[in-house]
Amino acid sequence: MARANDEAAAALQEYADLFAMTGGDAFRVRSYQKAAKAIAGHPEDIAGGDVRSVPGVGEAIAKKIEEFLQRGSFRQLDDLRGRIPEGVRRMTRIPGLGPKKAVFLFTELGIDSPDALREAITAGRLSGVKGLGPRTAENLLKGIEQMEQAGRRVHIGIATELAEKVIASLSDDRVERIAYAGSLRRMKDTIGDIDVLAVGPAELMADFRAMPYVAEVIAAGEKKTSIRTTGGVQVDLRLIPAESWGAAMQYFTGSKEHNVRIREMAVKKGWKLSEYGLFEGERVIASRTEEEIYEALGMPWIPPTMREDGGEVAAALRGELPEVVTLDDLRGDLHTHTDLTDGIASLGDMVAAAAGLGYSYYAVTDHAPDLVMQRMTLDKALAQRERLARLQESYPGMRLLHGTELNIGPDGSVDWPAEVLAGFDVTVASVHSHFNQSRDEMTARFIAACDNPQVHIIGHPTTRKIGKRGPVDADWDAVFRRAAATGTAMEIDSYPDRSDLPDDLVRLARHHGVKFSIDSDSHAIPHLVNQRYGVGIAQRAWLTTDDVINTWPLDRLLAFLGREGR
């Protein structure tokens, strides 16, 4: 994606945030947000073309973007930045602290950063302030810590795009092999630093240090160079002898705990395992490929996503490693949006893109009326259903499913009555507000949604946004038990800053017998391929195709949805 688009979109998004914080009109905020998304998702570079050709960009926004392209900012943004310090904006990213409260704390108490807020709370300066009782203050402290923890790591979407860019920038005919290892290859939802391994000439290190994405060189050695990118992410590049490629990939993929377990196996046999190979004295037993190393230790190759010392070595030794679900196993997507609500692409364009991915079925699940900002009505939904039925004629190989993403209200009820819901092929029900309910209330809320026979899938269950909002508090054992009993699937929302359910909760839900749907939650065409991240989560939780409803043939899926014969 073109850099100018991303930067302009980020500036417009910042403007939308600041505009909202200063009490700006909510519908204008939304139009800025929509335009920002449209610009980010626009296939052509706006720096070379006309920003007015981007859907959702009107004259007023176009002028701002043009000024931004010329000088890296625009007047209205400068104004608002002057009124709201950067630290106050960072305060809005503290889980549990909304923009209104952040502005209040700034204007009334002069608190202008998360650090200042922590100080004020610990010094007791907030006691007696309305709406900031001891429980809220406690939660804010936790939220600040959570944000700082997350701030040092990036989510898998950012890390993957960066790793692919680094690898592309270094790939040429002098470079025999190049790949990423570490937590990114294991597909953790957050990544501390990116570990790239290469077989190539020594000059590669100097080339790497000179790349335009490098902001700082942290360490420059012959075997390893570490840099920090302009986006603040550390990337380590290691030069590997060609004959050690497999051993190095195995070693630097980790996890540390998995490697300890593997090394124990080697030691028991009187061998030594290092990043250079598996050795008996001076003799090399295996080093070229990972497969050879695992085989020499009496195991089949273990997928990187399973290398967390969660019993995978024992299972591999017994020959009982499960066959985990892969991207190829997915036959469709059950949670996607169009520009009828908050997506940026039209129904026709989304469906065409889905067909290009070779799906057997594809569900369109725009928001239902309770999210007022989306302005959905039953008439609009029914008109969309008709358009979808007409589109179906052009896609004989792909079944189009008409769905909706329902909003789970604070009491567990959803937007539409049963008779309306019966008209949809599939429903995803999600929490979008009242995130701070008590554990009991939240648990009851999810259980009520599971008990609704017209709810098929619980969308992005924890509602977390990595680096922005923590998970809601619920008794997940109780929720998953009811989901399994009622045949309600849990979603693995693959949007990378959600990654929701996270892998540990997927494992817990699987233990209770829950089924899963690995969805993209796409709001634009480029989001469709995010399903690969959801597959990573599923693999980390050892899911097989039997656990994942959107790997199933259409008939089995429709039966699960109670829509057989449709």
Please tell me the distance from the alpha carbon of residue 1 to that of residue 427, in angstroms, as a whole number. Answer: 32
Q: Does 189 bind Ca ion (CB under 5 A)?
A: no
Please tell me the distance from the alpha carbon of residue 372 to that of residue 383, in angstroms, as a whole number. Answer: 19
Judged by beta carbon, residue 182 or residue 467, the one nearer Ca ion is 182
- One of 256, 268, 283, 318 touching ligand DGT (CB under 6 A): 256
Q: Does 180 bind ligand DGT (CB under 6 A)?
A: no
Judged by beta carbon, residue 224 or residue 439, the one nearer Ca ion is 224
Question: Which of ligand DGT, Zn ion, Ca ion, none lies near 259, with the C-beta cut-off 5 to 8 A by kind?
Answer: ligand DGT
Please tell me the distance from the alpha carbon of residue 121 to that of residue 134, in angstroms, as a whole number. Answer: 9
E strands present in 398-557? 399-407, 426-430, 457-458, 489-493, 516-519
Q: Which of 320, 299, 324, 327 lies closest to 540, judged by CA? A: 324
Cα-Cα-Cα-Cα torsion 163, 164, 169, 174, nearest 10 degrees, comes to 100
Judged by beta carbon, residue 89 or residue 337, the one nearer Zn ion is 337
Q: Which two tokens stand for residue 445?
A: 């809320």
- One of 259, 365, 452, 462 touching ligand DGT (CB under 6 A): 259
Contact between 105 and 157 (Cβ < 8 Å)? no
Q: Does 255 bind ligand DGT (CB under 6 A)?
A: yes
Phi-psi label, residue 55: left if phi above 0, alpha if psi -120 to 50, beta otherwise: beta
Q: Does 193 bind Ca ion (CB under 5 A)?
A: yes
- One of 112, 195, 491, 547 touching Ca ion (CB under 5 A): 195
- Residue at token pair 């630093």: 193
Which residues are registered as beta bridge partners of 279?
Answer: 272, 284
Judged by beta carbon, residue 260 or residue 314, the one nearer ligand DGT is 260
Q: Does 533 bind ligand DGT (CB under 6 A)?
A: no
> Can you list the alpha helix ranges (DSSP code H) found in 171-240?
182-185, 204-209
Judged by beta carbon, residue 96 or residue 192, the one nearer ligand DGT is 192
Q: Which of 514, 407, 500, 409 lies closest to 460, judged by CA? A: 500
Bond before 69 cis per omega within 30 degrees = no
Which span (45-53, 229-237, 288-296, 482-490) binds Ca ion, by CB under 5 A? 229-237
Q: Does 536 bind ligand DGT (CB under 6 A)?
A: no
Q: How many CB atoms lie within 10 A of CB 482?
A: 19
What is the smallest separation between the CB atom of 279 and ligand DGT, expressed in angstroms?
A: 16
Question: Which of ligand DGT, Ca ion, Zn ion, none lies near 254, with the C-beta cut-off 5 to 8 A by kind?
Answer: ligand DGT
Q: What is the DSSP letter of 360?
A: S
Concatenate the DSSP letters of all residues of 479-490 into one string: HHHHHHHHTPEE
Concatenate the DSSP letters of all residues of 280-316 into one string: ETTEEEE-S-HHHHHHHTT-PPPPGGG-SSSSHHHHH
Contact between 191 and 182 (Cβ < 8 Å)? yes
- One of 41, 99, 114, 182 touching ligand DGT (CB under 6 A): 182
Q: Is 37 helix (H, G, I), strand (E, B) or coil?
A: helix
Q: Does 71 bind ligand DGT (CB under 6 A)?
A: no
Q: What is the DSSP letter of 262?
A: H
Contact between 522 and 174 (Cβ < 8 Å)? no
Residue ranges that bind Zn ion, judged by CB under 5 A = 430
What is the smallest separation between the CB atom of 232 and ligand DGT, expressed in angstroms?
A: 14
- One of 136, 160, 183, 454 touching ligand DGT (CB under 6 A): 183
What is the smallest separation between the CB atom of 145 and ligand DGT, expressed in angstroms?
A: 18
Q: Does 308 bind ligand DGT (CB under 6 A)?
A: no
Judged by beta carbon, residue 39 or residue 159, the one nearer ligand DGT is 159
Binders of ligand DGT in range 194-223 (CB under 6 A): 195
Q: Is 384 helix (H, G, I), strand (E, B) or coil?
A: helix
Helices 26-41 and 3-21 cross at an angle (nearest 10°) of 170
Phi-psi label, residue 56: left if phi above 0, alpha if psi -120 to 50, beta otherwise: left
Please tell me the distance from the alpha carbon of residue 45 to that of residue 564, in angstroms, as a whole number. Answer: 45
CA contacts within 13 A on the Cβ side of 288: 1
- One of 252, 294, 476, 480 touching ligand DGT (CB under 6 A): 252
- One of 88, 191, 406, 561 touching ligand DGT (CB under 6 A): 191
Residue of minimal CB distance from ligand DGT? 254
Which span (188-196, 205-213, 340-348, 555-563) binds ligand DGT, by CB under 6 A? 188-196
What is the smallest separation between the CB atom of 77 and Zn ion, expressed in angstroms?
A: 28
Question: Which of ligand DGT, Zn ion, Ca ion, none lies near 12, with the C-beta cut-off 5 to 8 A by kind?
Answer: none
Judged by beta carbon, residue 196 or residue 457, the one nearer Zn ion is 457
What is the smallest separation between the CB atom of 255 and ligand DGT, expressed in angstroms?
A: 5
Binding mask 131-170 for ligand DGT (x = CB under 6 A): ----------------------------------------
Q: Does 310 bind ligand DGT (CB under 6 A)?
A: no
Q: Does 304 bind Ca ion (CB under 5 A)?
A: no
Q: Which chain residues interact with ligand DGT by CB under 6 A?
A: 182-183, 188, 191-193, 195, 251-252, 254-256, 259
Q: Which chain residues interact with Ca ion by CB under 5 A?
A: 182-183, 193, 195, 236
